[in-house]
């Protein structure tokens, strides 16, 4: 039960990091591009390393134990790419203008009031909040199941996802503010959209936990690895470089991998 509560707590922390992005959008005048470029690269490095070095092989070990070498390896690979397909499909059906991963900066909050209070943007603003909620749902499952299997691993993944949720909070707050002209409402909707991650954890606990045998665990863990690698390659690295600090982005990736490697060697 302690492990379950820790897993829920880590997932909640990661999800509510969108609120930090909202606060940055409302209470700072400029975007610290160097920090975000380094932080997003760091998050990508952590996710890629832990997915390919630790999570994938834990999933494979579990499936080989249940199905034998050939069947276990094939199902691991299939589940890995299925995770990628699921998160890619979610992105596919989110229009570009409403996608929370489209780059926005704090400076965008300084648009004129005539631009902000456009009634046509109300629908898009609400849709953006729903889009990020939908997108964060599988991330909640990933954080929860990882933390449940190995708390130390769960902490690392939760921190990486929390970092990646900060600019999402900015990206969600800005269009909602355009739609409503109300900072409190933009913050509220952005903050609440992050709650889809702990909701994902609740779903994982209520629906998946009763069936969590070696095969279910292996499939789920391999899918989590696929989800996190896709998020890193499709969202974190491009966003990190778009902030105009290409070298810092790569330095962040290497630093994230080094830190994750040390964590695995020392604590797991």
Domain ranges of the chain: 2-28+39-267
Q: What is the pLDDT, as a whole number, of residue 113?
A: 43
Instruction: Give the integer Cα–Cα distance in Å for 108 and 51.
Output: 34
Beta carbons of 147 and 154 less than 8 angstroms apart: yes
Point out the annotated binding site for Zn(2+): 139, 164, 168
Q: What is the pLDDT, as a whole number, of residue 100?
A: 46
Point out the annotated binding site: 136, 139, 164-165, 168, 197
CA dihedral (40, 92, 169, 231) positive or negative: negative
Q: What is the pLDDT, as a whole number, of residue 224?
A: 83
Q: Which two tokens stand for residue 246?
A: 């290409």
The list of the chain residues with pLDDT below 70 reads 25-32, 94-132, 135, 171-172, 174-176, 178-180, 243-245, 267-268
Q: What is the pLDDT, as a whole number, of residue 112?
A: 41
Beta carbons of 105 and 31 less than 8 angstroms apart: yes
Point out the annotated binding site for Fe(2+): 136, 139, 165, 168, 197
Q: How far is CA 210 from the centre of its chain?
A: 25
Q: What is the pLDDT, as a whole number, of residue 259?
A: 83
Q: What is the pLDDT, as a whole number, of residue 245?
A: 63
The pLDDT tens digits for 75-134 are 999 999 999 998 888 777 765 544 444 555 555 544 444 444 555 455 555 665 666 677
Q: CA distances (Å), 72 to each of 195, 209, 210, 213, 233, in order?
A: 34, 21, 22, 14, 26
Q: What is the pLDDT, as a whole number, of residue 98?
A: 46
């Amino acid at each position: 039960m302690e492990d379950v509560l820790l897993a829920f707590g880590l997932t909640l922390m990661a999800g509510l990091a969108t609120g930090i992005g909202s606060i940055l959008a409302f209470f700072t005048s400029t975007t610290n591009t160097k920090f975000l470029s380094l932080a997003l690269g760091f998050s990508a490095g952590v996710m890629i390393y832990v997915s390919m070095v630790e999570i994938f092989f834990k999933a494979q070990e579990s499936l080989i134990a249940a199905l034998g070498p050939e069947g276990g390896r094939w199902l691991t690979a299939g589940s890995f790419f299925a995770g990628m397909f699921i998160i890619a499909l979610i992105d596919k059906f989110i229009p570009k203008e409403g996608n929370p991963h489209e780059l926005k900066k704090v400076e965008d909050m300084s648009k004129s009031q005539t631009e902000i209070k456009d009634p046509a943007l109300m629908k898009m603003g609400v849709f953006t909040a729903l889009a990020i909620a939908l997108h964060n749902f599988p991330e909640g499952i990933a954080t929860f199941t990882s933390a449940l299997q190995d708390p130390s691993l769960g902490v690392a993944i939760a921190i990486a996802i929390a970092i990646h949720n900060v600019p999402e909070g900015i990206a969600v707050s800005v269009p909602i503010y355009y739609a409503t002209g109300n900072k409190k409402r933009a913050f509220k909707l952005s903050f609440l959209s992050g709650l889809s991650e702990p909701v994902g954890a609740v779903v994982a606990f209520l629906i998946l936990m009763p069936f969590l045998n070696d095969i279910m665990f292996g499939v789920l863990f391999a899918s989590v690895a696929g989800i996190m690698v896709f998020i890193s390659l499709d969202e974190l690295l491009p966003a990190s470089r778009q902030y105009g600090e290409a070298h810092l982005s790569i330095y962040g990736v290497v630093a994230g991998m080094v830190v994750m490697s040390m964590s695995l060697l020392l604590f797991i």
